[in-house]
Structure 1
Amino acid sequence: MIIESPIDLKLTQISGQTSQPPWKNIDGSYSDLVCIDGEPSIFNVKQSGENIDFTYTGNVSDKTAIENVKKIYDLDFDLAKFYKYMDSYDELKDMSKFCNGLRLFQAKDPFECIISSICSANNSIKRWTKSIDDMKLKWGRNFNNYYSFPNPNNFKELFLDDEEELLKSGANENNNLKSCGVGYRAPYMRKASEIFTLEIDLSDISKMSYDEAFETVLKVPGVGPKVADCILLYGFGFIQAFPSDVWIKRIVSYLYFDGKDIKVEKVREFGMDEFGDYAGYVQLYMFHYARKSGLMERLK
């Protein structure tokens, strides 16, 4: 079925958003496992003109499946209106053409987004996405060779490293978090799973105000302001989040502050105040534009 909402599917998949790794790509058709109320479904999307052609298998209704694929690819967001907004500002107008069709790639599993976002800190897109895929292969549930992400309750029981695995199981079979290439982040990830099993209900976060949700996610070890905003934007739909790190700082400084050195926390505040409900999208477009246009190289 064709869903009429313009999108560049490949660009959205490979843009490095920390909701999840790119879906399995076979000849330009992207597919992955999506669990809806505990029911596994395989979603498949491919480009059809400027829209997507969507098919699925699983025990869910067409209405429910369409609602979920629209949510994942943010297909109800009005790109044309957003581009008019961007084109009205000299600092942003080149980005709408360069990144045309790029949409938010929202989490199908908020806990996967939390672990992906922790994993992405000081890491390349290629490395963190491979780590997440490795976790799914090792500990996810297999549905026709598509794998779920382990749930928080199971994740908190995982071994951290070779030493703990050998001590507790009597063997070393690379069945631990560090075997997935996450390094120093392993204890942060396991602690996150403990927190979201024993202390915080994941489903409560989307019901909070942005400020309350931000402070709640910051309680997780290894989660600073940038990672917290990634979790809130890609995992829970807080579109006013403006994830800010040294690269976004350089981009914003170049575009708005004549290259002056400003603190990352000030950049975050500026982005949220300046762009409002478009903050998350503007950050996404800024980062992709800078990364692919050559601007980022010039700002090093």
Structure 2
Amino acid sequence: MKTIENEIKNELSKIYDLDFDLEKFYEFLLDDEKLAPSVDFCNGLRLFIAKDPFECIISSICSANNSIARWTKSIDKIKHNWGEKVEFDSGIFYGFPSPNQFLDFYETPIEEADADGHSYEIECYTHNMKSCGVGYRAPYMKKASQMILDEMDLNDIFNMDYEEAFDLILKMPGVGPKVADCILLYGFGFEEAFPSDVWIKRIVSHLYFDGEEISADKTRDFGIEHFGDYAGYAQLYLFHYARKSGLMEKIRK
């Protein structure tokens, strides 16, 4: 029993990044006059590291050009449709499908209906990726699954340096620099990654470039160079601070 308890504690410690030294990070933030106020707004905030890197890859592909509410709903539908069902007293939960399972998913209701011989009206076919709301990302998800099965061992990525891992993940279909950094940060724990979307670009521009228009690449390069090994945490704190402090509304365009 003690062994199981220790395994659970270790797993939870990894997921909630409990070994990360927040106090040391706060010392770093307090030396940066632009980010020092974030310590009060974000005190205790930690990264959430995915237990399953493959789920993080698919979720990150789904998040591209998508709202948080929409892509999380899509991932929940995928899990409900094809994930392993587990029942507890507290409720019913679903695991995440494997790469092999993804290869067998129908992409559209028409594809599902064709396989079934059109036994029902087309709106009755909901066991397909389009019905989960992933849209044009469906083929990217299937191709990424195929690539993982054929060309890479995800466990190897944990032993790579950041740049090598970034270049590898960037080869996946549907993955640009921002999505690659999200995968590396939240899927593999590369804390030197700095995901740069439109909001992070605006926040960095406002705080460090006097509102000057900067590109996503320049934002990413700045974050990696300026924050170093703390880049991932700095990105998390920048975004949360902007939301909580009212800065987000100030820079909204």
The reply to whether TM is greater than 0.5 is yes
In structure 2, what is the equivalent of residue 118 of structure 1? 61
SS of the residue aligned with 1:61?
helix
Percent of paired sites with the same residue: 62
**Distance in 2 between residues matched to 1:153 and 1:59, nearest whole Å:** 34
1:227 aligns with 2:179: yes
Structure with bigger gyration radius = 2
Compute the displacement of 1:149 (Å).
0.3
Summarize the alignment of residues 1-300 of structure 1 with structure 2, pairs less than 5 Å apart. 61-144=4-87, 145-171=92-118, 173-299=125-251, 300=253
1:263 deviates by 1.4
Query: Which has a greater percent of strand?
Result: 1
Structure 1: gaps (5+ residues)? 1-57
Which one has a larger percent helix, Structure 1 or Structure 2? 2
- Unmatched 5+ stretches in structure 2: 119-123
Residues 184 and 60 of structure 1: CA distance in aligned 2, closer, same or farther (over 3 Å) = farther
Q: What is the alpha-carbon distance in structure 2 between the residues aligned to residue 163 and residue 251 of structure 1?
A: 43
Describe the SS at the equivalent of 1:93.
Answer: coil
Please, which moves more after superposition, 170-179 or 216-225? 170-179
Q: For the residues of structure 1 that align with 2:117 and 2:172, how far apart are their CA atoms? A: 30
Q: Separation in 2 of the partners of 1:197 and 1:157?
A: 13
| Alpha-carbon distance, 1:59 to partner | 10
Cα distance in 2, alignment partners of residues 66 and 111 from structure 1 = 22
2:115 corresponds to which letter in structure 1?
K
Query: Would you identify which runs of 4 or more consecutive aligned residues in structure 1 move more than 4 Å?
Result: none
AA partner of residue 105 (structure 1) = F
TM-superposed CA distance for 1:221, in Å, is 1.1
Give distance in 2, aligned partners of 1:264 and 1:203: 29
Aligned length: 243
CA contact (8 A) 2:41 2:244 kept: no
Instruction: Tell me which residue corresponds to 1:18.
Output: none
Per-residue Cα deviation, 1:174-218 (whole angstroms, up to 9, x for no partner): 111111111111111111111111221111111212111111111
